[in-house]
Amino acid sequence: MTDTVHSVLTPQEAADRVAASLNKRNSSETRFRAWGIAAITTALAFLVLLFTGILSKGIPGMHQYYVTFDVTLDPERLDPQGLMTPESLSSGDFDSVIRDGLYAALGNPEGRKEKRAARGILSSGSSQRLMGYVLDNPSEMGQTISMKFALDDDIDTFLRGMIDRNTPEADRRINDQVIAYVDRLEADGRVSYELSDYLFFGSASRDAEMAGIKGALIGSILTLAICVVIAFPLGVATAVYLEEIAPKNRITEIIEININNLAAVPSVVFGIMGLAIFIVTFGMPRSIPLVGGIVLALMTLPTIIISSRAAIRAVPPSIRDAALGVGASKMQTIFHHVIPLAMPGMLTGTIIGMAQALGETAPLLMIGMVAFIVDVPTGVTDPGTVLPVQIFMWADFAERMFIQKTSAAIIVLLAFLITMNAAAIMLRKKLERRW
């Protein structure tokens, strides 16, 4: 055997070695902290860049150009039957009344070419706008009123600077005569740039200046309502059964594995399943929020179940033991103690699931919610669409004005999501219990 000889450090050498080790550790911690700050800064920079791009296009998309001029509400031309009903007004000549007012504002142009150029300034939905005003204000029939009308999307694009007036006339979507009329209206102070009422109170339209998100927004609310009503109680009940009641055997293991696998299934698969089961087999109508809500509920169920089970596991076993020790039954322990304490975590899972469902497009495309639907849905069985699908459709249109309206709709979708999450967080804090 050989004896191992250990060198003995002097106090100064030991102190130097400890100092070197501390310096190395401090340097490592400093580098780690710097990398963390850099990662957070990079993420925030990309987030700011994303929101800057969306807001720079979305805020202008929430506005549009209007022109104001006087129109005479002639009862004989607008309501020839004199009934003041939508059916009676539909037989009226609103277009000619609007044209007369526009011609007067432009100095009464003469010639077919000049009048055709003047008519091209206004949106094609001007007559519906005037009809709605007459229905809401029947007492003003026979009077001359000042009213705002949306400009055509080409005129709106020109006023935004996206069409150069110096471009040769043959290469522009608007001719020189139209530009001259627009310049005259601007000089007279009749053109205004305002918050778009069409965007927030209009529905689907092929005309960019008339397109709105009201129908899609209500469709999203109805679809999410169905999704929550189905997914939340069913998900919580499944989690409670698997975690607290079901025996731990091979069958429950298989069920748990399949639930975890379903959470990773692409959303389009749920859309195909909804198409095959609810529409083809059961014959339910396409494009209704009821079917969309059921499909999204099936898609979010795994997320809610997994998060709810995790919340139940987080409840200390001492809570259960204490409840059972004072004479509570198994079900009383679950419903009076376990579920109330786990409810904040369950709500968190529901928030995540609803946020995922709110932004889904693929499964809803499969069940026909991409259809062009003008009417605003009034119930879960009325044809409708949702905001993500509306954004998807607008992004595919060629008109430049739709690009800005797409960004505006994205801002509304984000605001909807933030509002929903904020409400859920407040509810979670209200229900939270401490032990």
Q: What percent of the chain has pLDDT over 90?
A: 29
pLDDT of the residue at 354: 85
Residues 405 and 279 in one domain: yes
Closest by CA to 333, choosing from 344, 320, 346, 342, is: 320
97: domain range? 63-195
Provide the greatest CA pair distance for the chain.
124
Q: Which residues contact 130 (CB under 8 A, 6 or more apart)?
A: 71, 94, 97, 98, 147, 149
pLDDT of the residue at 433: 63
Residues 400 and 293 in one domain: yes
Angle, CA 23 vertex, CA 22 and CA 27 arms, to 5°:
115
Residues 161 and 227 in one domain: no
Tell how far CA 161 is from the center of its chain.
28
- Alpha helices in 140-213, H assignment, sequence order: 153-159, 176-187, 197-201
Residue at 19 is within a domain: no
Segments of 191-333 assigned E as strands: 191-195
Q: Which amino acid, residue 294? A: I
**Of 168, 195, 222, at which residue does a domain stop?**
195
Helix (H) or strand (E) holding 358: helix 339-358
Helix (H) or strand (E) holding 68: strand 63-72
Residues 219 and 124 in one domain: no
Residue at 104 is within a domain: yes
Residue at 256 is within a domain: yes
Residue at 148 is within a domain: yes
Residues 232 and 141 in one domain: no
Residues 147 and 52 in one domain: no
pLDDT of the residue at 7: 64
Residues 223 and 80 in one domain: no
Beta bridge partners, 195, equal: 63
Residues 145 and 46 in one domain: no
Residue at 209 is within a domain: no
Each residue's pLDDT expressed in tens, for the chain with a length of 435 residues:
455 555 677 887 777 787 888 888 888 888 989 999 999 999 999 989 988 888 888 888 899 999 999 999 998 899 888 888 888 888 889 999 999 999 999 988 888 888 898 988 998 889 989 999 999 998 998 899 999 999 998 999 999 988 888 889 888 888 899 999 999 999 999 999 999 988 888 887 888 888 889 888 899 899 999 999 999 999 999 999 998 888 888 888 898 889 888 888 888 899 898 989 998 888 888 889 999 999 999 999 998 999 899 999 888 888 888 888 888 888 888 888 888 888 888 888 888 888 888 888 888 888 878 777 778 888 888 888 888 888 888 888 877 888 888 889 999 888 888 887 787 778 777 776 665
Residues 140 and 271 in one domain: no
Q: How many domains does the chain have?
A: 3
Give 228-276 pLDDT, tens digit per residue: 999 999 999 999 999 888 888 888 889 888 988 888 888 889 989 898 9
Residues 277 and 167 in one domain: no
pLDDT of the residue at 393: 86
Residue at 14 is within a domain: no
pLDDT of the residue at 58: 85
Q: Which residues contact 370 (CB under 8 A, 6 or more apart)?
A: 287, 364, 385, 389, 392, 393
**Of 37, 61, 85, at which residue does a domain stop?**
61
Residues 155 and 301 in one domain: no
pLDDT of the residue at 1: 46
Residue at 205 is within a domain: no
pLDDT of the residue at 3: 54
> Do 347 and 431 meet the contact criterion of CB atoms below 8 Å apart?
yes
Find the CATH number of the domain harbouring 298: 1.10.3720.10
**Of 125, 160, 195, at which residue does a domain stop?**
195
Whole-number Å distance between alpha carbons of 221 and 224 = 5
Residues 144 and 164 in one domain: yes
pLDDT of the residue at 240: 92
Residue at 73 is within a domain: yes
Give 129-183 pLDDT, tens digit per residue: 999 999 999 899 889 999 999 999 899 999 998 888 888 988 888 889 999 999 9
